[in-house]
């Protein structure tokens, strides 16, 4: 039979074992996968609006109907934009802080990338061109 006094005899050994266990299981800064300085919030580094709606993140989306116009505006002077159509990039022109792009007839996903030339920061806008309800069949 185990008596209570038997546990007291090894008390210092148990205490050391518990301290060692807690030290090993406690997370330390060296165990962290991502350090704070590596964290990126994904927030946009410059102001860009799509059809008067702010784009708060570097990667964002917007939806349009076929042949609808997307109007981008910004307070930045030096922006360049391009859109991917049929697996090829086409350059879009900014005029006075505005850019207008007409969505294609074909529904699908189109990528529009805008770069601030001064800082090099980018915003990628995924544009979903939707299918009108009048074209849906059996759906």
How is residue 41 written in tokens?
A: 């919030």
Quick one: average pLDDT of 113-127? 95
Q: Rounded CA gap, 21 and 19, in Å?
A: 5
**Cα 42–chain centre separation:** 5
Sheet strands side by side (includes 88-92): 59-64, 122-129, 108-116, 79-85, 88-92
Of the pLDDT bands very low, low, confident and very high (cuts 50, 70, 90), residue 8 is low
82: nearest Cα among 66, 99, 95: 99
pLDDT of residue 137: 83
Of the pLDDT bands very low, low, confident and very high (cuts 50, 70, 90), residue 128 is very high
């Amino acid at each position: 039979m185990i008596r209570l006094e038997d546990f007291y005899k090894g008390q210092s050994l148990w205490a050391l074992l518990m301290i060692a266990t807690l030290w090993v299981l406690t997370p330390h800064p060296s165990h962290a996968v991502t350090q704070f300085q590596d964290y990126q919030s994904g927030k946009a580094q410059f102001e860009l609006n799509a059809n008067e709606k702010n784009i708060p993140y570097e990667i964002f989306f917007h939806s349009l109907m076929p042949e609808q116009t997307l109007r981008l505006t910004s307070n930045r002077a030096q922006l360049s934009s391009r859109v991917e159509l049929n697996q090829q990039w086409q350059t879009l022109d900014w005029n006075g802080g505005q850019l207008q792009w007409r969505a294609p007839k074909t529904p699908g996903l189109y990528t529009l990338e805008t770069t601030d030339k001064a800082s090099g920061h980018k915003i990628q806008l995924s544009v979903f061109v939707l299918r009108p309800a009048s074209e849906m069949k059996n759906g």
